[in-house]
Structure 1
Amino acid sequence: MSSAAFLSAVTKICMQYTKRKLYAGTIPQKILNNVYAHYTVPREERVIAVLDFTLLGSGKDGVAITDSGLYWKLLRERTFISWEELEGVEEIRPEGKWKVDLGRGMVFEIVGSPLSNEEMARFLQKVVNALQGNGEEAEEDGDTEQGSGRFAGRA
């Protein structure tokens, strides 16, 4: 499920969250090169946004949002979740201090993320809402403290 309208909505959502180490629209070439080199993103896929989890901003670890889904890369672990897999997600919520629970056994730890787990949950919920045709709206209710964590989902 990657219609032009959906991808446009996802791009707009990503642009709302653009900040240090979260790139959308114009992604620095160094970051883009590292996403293609270190994640499992095929070169023919369009990268819409990157959440950089690295300390020095290299983009070698984090989340890449592409036209086919979400790619997570942290240390040696690489995970891909397609838009089709995310379409059935009902609620994304923060778990503990450093995790986001996507349901269906997918738990996302966000070590080094430019977003706190609460912000990441809201961000991903907006993306899922757009995927499900429910618009981009999501409640903006709160905490904006910076968080960090790492991914502990399935490969």
Structure 2
Amino acid sequence: MAIQSREAAALRVEPDIKMLQAICLKYREQFLRYVTHEELTPSQLKTIFERFPLSPGERILAFVDTTLLGSRKLGMALTLNGIYWRSEAIQPGFITQLSWGQFLEVKLGIFGKYDLRLGTDGVFNTAGCNRELLTGLLKELQIYIASLQADGLPVPFETGMPSKKKWNVPVKAAGEAEWMLVANGEMRGPLAANIMMWVAETGQIDLETSHVWKRGMKEWLKIKEAAPFATVRFKADK
């Protein structure tokens, strides 16, 4: 069955599948063990759809398996509709799914040795996967989802966006990846501030049409109007 709204006021969010996949892929490259829909066998898909309340035909963007032998009976599934999870022991009254709109309002936290808290009534046991990486992935997905609700989103975000041009970024990210960027007709992020400065300083984005946003900002701003980028000497200004 499809994820149902827990509250009548739950936000309706329609994320772009390519952005969700891009954020997930970044964490896969950091060794968060997950599989995509295409990598699952028909038998494994059958197991997941029997164990998790996904809609018929719902596409799995990433499935984090927490079982010892990879049976797909326990874990977390990220889809275009939201998040589903299943642990060995499900406590009565606790939720096991969230739409993206519901997920936006959830506070993430860690508890004990393995538990990942999703709000006050959601618990996922991460034994069998990297809790730190999974928490980082979920936080970045929250930032992206929140950016879609901010005023002044520069471009309509639709499935089938053009492929992202590869940036020349010889510096490593420093600090939290918290900034979303719309540049050259594409959305990227979340990104660390020093990465944003580098691509701006080296002229890899159009400063007049590029916009940025992070949590705490009511609306998207041009990059040169947002701190800490307003004082940076960009290539176009030199």
Q: Secondary structure at the match of 1:137?
A: strand
Cα distance, 1:104 vs. partner? 3.9
- Percent identity among equivalent residues? 25
Partner of 2:51: 38
Cα distance, 1:123 vs. partner? 1.2
Match for residue 11 of structure 1 among 15, 21, 25: 21
| Residues 96-118 of structure 1: per-residue CA shift (max 9 Å, x gap) | 32122333443332122x22x22
Equivalent-residue separation in structure 2 for 1:82 and 1:76 (angstroms): 22
Higher strand share: 1
CA contact (8 A) 2:103 2:142 kept: yes
Equivalent-residue separation in structure 2 for 1:16 and 1:49 (angstroms): 12
Moved more, 36-45 or 15-24: 15-24
Match for residue 96 of structure 1 among 112, 116, 137: 112
Whichever of the two has the greater Rg, that structure is 2
Over 3 Å counting, the alpha-carbon distance change for 1:103 and 1:76 in structure 2 is closer
Equivalent-residue separation in structure 2 for 1:31 and 1:21 (angstroms): 16
Which consecutive unaligned segments of at least 5 residues does structure 2 have? Answer: 1-12, 148-178, 181-188, 193-238
**Which residue identity does 2:122 align to in structure 1?**
M
Q: TM-score, normalised by structure 2?
A: 0.49
Number of equivalences: 134
Cα distance, 1:76 vs. partner? 6.2
Q: Secondary structure at the match of 1:58?
A: coil
Which consecutive unaligned segments of at least 5 residues does structure 1 have? Answer: 140-155
Equivalent-residue separation in structure 2 for 1:96 and 1:76 (angstroms): 15
Partner of 2:139: 125
Alignment of 1:1-155 (within 5 A): 1-3=13-15, 5=16, 7-18=17-28, 19=31, 21-24=33-36, 26-29=38-41, 30-75=43-88, 77=90, 79-89=96-106, 91-112=107-128, 114-115=129-130, 117-133=131-147, 135=180, 136-137=189-190
Moved over 6 A (4+): none
Q: TM-score, normalised by structure 1?
A: 0.72
Q: What is the aligned-residue RMSD (CA, Å)?
A: 2.5
Cα distance, 1:21 vs. partner? 4.1
Identify the structure with bigger relative contact order (alpha carbons < 8 Å, sequence gap 6+): 1
**Which residue identity does 2:126 align to in structure 1?**
I
Equivalent-residue separation in structure 2 for 1:8 and 1:63 (angstroms): 19
Over 3 Å counting, the alpha-carbon distance change for 1:85 and 1:121 in structure 2 is same
CA contact (8 A) 1:24 1:49 kept: yes
